[in-house]
Amino acid sequence: MTTICVDAMGGDRPSEVVLEGIAQALAADVELEVLVAGNSEVVEPFCAQHERARALLTTEVIGMEEHPADAVRSKKDSSIVRGCAAVRAGEADGFFSAGSTGAIFAAATLGIGRIRGIKRPCIASSVPGTSGRRTVFCDMGANADVRPEMIVQFARMGRAYSRVTLGVDDPKVALLSNGSEETKGSEAVVELHGVLAEAAASEGWFVGNAEGTDILAGNFDVIVTDGFTGNVAVKTLEGTSKFIMGELKKAVNASPKAALGSLLLKSSLKEIAAGLSGDAYGGAMLLGVKSPVIIGHGATSAEAVKNATLVCASAVRGELVNKIALDVAGA
Amino acid sequence: MTTICVDAMGGDRPSEVVLEGIAQALAADVELEVLVAGNSEVVEPFCAQHERARALLTTEVIGMEEHPADAVRSKKDSSIVRGCAAVRAGEADGFFSAGSTGAIFAAATLGIGRIRGIKRPCIASSVPGTSGRRTVFCDMGANADVRPEMIVQFARMGRAYSRVTLGVDDPKVALLSNGSEETKGSEAVVELHGVLAEAAASEGWFVGNAEGTDILAGNFDVIVTDGFTGNVAVKTLEGTSKFIMGELKKAVNASPKAALGSLLLKSSLKEIAAGLSGDAYGGAMLLGVKSPVIIGHGATSAEAVKNATLVCASAVRGELVNKIALDVAGA
């Protein structure tokens, strides 16, 4: 049995959406047990009805807009803090929440703890690519400033993530920059390029710079960047997808011909938007802590919760944390 | 008469595309004269047939992949270098090229010269937004590292550009960051936030941080950032648009229903892609040099060349350069 703790209170959607996702995950994986964290009125009726669901009763909820570190410090009985504590105590093997990214990051770093040798955890996700290959992208926002030794660890963690979740044998890593030549970049990024080239010299996994156009092209296994640039890139991607879908909706309202076209393309458009939202993989993975932690979209869906829970369980079974620990120790 | 020098050799497309765009611009604006820079076999037949077209005969071409500064130094008789020289000499009031961004930047900065007081020119473009409002975005890639005094000038130049090309009375400026709170950002960006807030304190045009999702939302008149982040954001936007259009094409190939839907949506999809490519405004404007300079996409179209030439002429007539000079002098 693999036990994943799922936060029933996290995100902007009602708890029913999360519970529905948990039910789907339990149905899909008979080796899965879920520790459901949340208020008793939400959690208890659900656990009474589902065999492999156990309740972790909590009384507080950390809101999406609260200051992460303050909230984690003051709300000791919140579903996020208690969920991470349950993982640390061995009551669960991994944690999933669609709550505040900052709060989950803080609670997991403090509560579950970093893997020995890891300077700072980072946030990674795999995005689809035109070529058909998925690309692991990190850091998506946890560390606005990175020191050179951190980017090398992000690269190694991204490689481990690519191996375990995508099955890539020897993932190649590129550094996000403003041009493909190695001389391109801000002063800081040119320095990171040198540090990555040196770290990977004998192992051959660093292949140079990637550009913004590469993120969804499927040209690289892993693209690393600092959390500031990563956050801007991911939110630009999200904003562009929203813009295009919004403009299509406007076109539909303006013309019956476009309306019919859109109706016929509906499932394709939905699929593309879902692929970009990361729902197929349930969210972003926090890499560098001692157990797999997945951070979902605030605006999550039952499907995303199901996938996140299953991906979290498969990261446990694939020994993602051990692989990261070995990679970092071997460095 | 307003005279714009247009580079007939720039870009990845054949010169005929550029010439067709010039012809359309001349037809659309009877107060426009075009100085057509390029090889004699390209330029002379065209100028013989068009009344307000004059030839600027050159013998060299700077390729898209050449090192910008080296190429500008060594190819003195290239269409880009000679075009900028013609502007400096007063033979034209503005310059448009769809050639190498770096080469145009270098040739214009050296050949036309910076406006007095401007530390570094920047590249700006206006992008569409879901709300219907266009947002001026700069720096799109000219300066990978920015010092605090540069970001204030970028903001002032972006405001002048918004006033002249979009007619916004008192444009508000936001700083691109990884969160809306003023404490969000890398250390460097938090510092830029403070500098912008101070510079705008008595004038009230700085409204705080924007995020990647704001770029195409139409939430701000101007969004400023360093050229590294700006380049990554614009290329991510471009890559996301390409990805979505590519996935739609795949869907079309997989199902006759989707194929019909796509056919019915064709003009809407084309319009959205064109809006995002900047073709409606012809390209990006180089702000901070003594005459309006527009940099087009390498993969330009006749429509984009036409629009760029007309926008360049309207920037001349709207006295964009004087407005920037006054704004910077007044600071």
> Domains of chain B: which residue ranges?
1-118+288-319, 122-277
| Nearest CA-CA distance, residue A126 and chain B, Å | 15
Is B213 in the A-facing interface, judged by CB distances under 8 Å?
A: yes
Per-residue pLDDT at B252? 85
Which candidate from A241, A265, A271 shows the least CB-CB separation from B265?
A265
* Nearest residue to B14 via CA among B254, B238, B301: B301
Beta bridge pairs of residue A35: A5, A54
Domain B122-277 CATH assignment equals 3.40.228.10: no
Per-residue pLDDT at A261? 87
Per-residue pLDDT at B170? 96
Do A186 and B145 meet the contact criterion of CB atoms below 8 Å apart? yes
In angstroms, the CA B194 to CA B185 distance is: 12
Is A317 in the B-facing interface, judged by CB distances under 8 Å?
A: no
Which chain B residues contact residue A216 at CB under 8 A?
A: 239-240, 242-243
* Nearest residue to B130 via CA among A297, A252, A250: A250
Reading the block at residue B27, the tokens are 């037809």
Per-residue pLDDT at A11? 77
Is B239 in the A-facing interface, judged by CB distances under 8 Å?
A: yes
Per-residue pLDDT at A330? 62
Q: What is the CA radius of gyration of chain A?
A: 20
| Nearest CA-CA distance, residue B214 and chain A, Å | 7
Domain B1-118+288-319 CATH assignment equals 3.40.718.10: yes
In angstroms, the CA A221 to CA A126 distance is: 9
Q: What is the pLDDT of residues B169-219, one digit of tens each?
A: 999 999 999 998 888 999 999 999 999 999 999 999 999 999 999 999 999
| Nearest CA-CA distance, residue A72 and chain B, Å | 18
| Nearest CA-CA distance, residue B262 and chain A, Å | 6
Please tell me which residue of chain A has the smallest CA distance to B141. A178
Is A217 in the B-facing interface, judged by CB distances under 8 Å?
A: yes
Is B129 in the A-facing interface, judged by CB distances under 8 Å?
A: yes
* Nearest residue to B97 via CA among B313, B307, B305, B314: B305
Is A175 in the B-facing interface, judged by CB distances under 8 Å?
A: no
Is B150 in the A-facing interface, judged by CB distances under 8 Å?
A: no
Per-residue pLDDT at B330? 62
How many beta-carbon pairs below 8 A join chains A and B?
205
Regions in chain A scoring below 50 on pLDDT: none
Do A108 and A293 meet the contact criterion of CB atoms below 8 Å apart? yes
Which candidate from A236, A246, A257 shows the least CB-CB separation from B264?
A257
Per-residue pLDDT at A274? 84
Per-residue pLDDT at B253? 85
Is B127 in the A-facing interface, judged by CB distances under 8 Å?
A: no
CB contact under 8 A, A264 and B261: yes
CB contact under 8 A, B248 and A265: yes
Amino acid code (one letter) for A273 = A
Instruction: Please state the separation of Cα B280 from the chain's center in Å.
Output: 11
CB contact under 8 A, B212 and A235: yes
CB contact under 8 A, B217 and A226: no
Which candidate from B130, B232, B241 shows the least CB-CB separation from A246?
B130
Is A253 in the B-facing interface, judged by CB distances under 8 Å?
A: no
Per-residue pLDDT at A329? 66
Which chain A residues contact residue B228 at CB under 8 A?
A: 177-178, 185-186, 189, 229
DSSP B172: -
Quick check: helix, strand or coil at residue A135? strand
DSSP B12: S
Identical fold for domains A1-118+288-331 and A119-279, yes or no, is yes
Per-residue pLDDT at B331? 59
CATH T-level topology, domain A119-279? Isopropylmalate Dehydrogenase (3.40.718)
CB contact under 8 A, A241 and B246: no
Regions in chain B scoring below 50 on pLDDT: none
CATH T-level topology, domain A1-118+288-331? Isopropylmalate Dehydrogenase (3.40.718)
In a mutational test of the A interface, the residue from B268, B269, B271 whose CB has the highest number of chain A CBs within 10 Å is B268
Is B247 in the A-facing interface, judged by CB distances under 8 Å?
A: yes
In a mutational test of the B interface, the residue from A65, A238, A240, A248 whose CB has the highest number of chain B CBs within 10 Å is A240
In a mutational test of the B interface, the residue from A131, A143, A145, A178 whose CB has the highest number of chain B CBs within 10 Å is A178
Reading the block at residue A78, the tokens are 């919140």
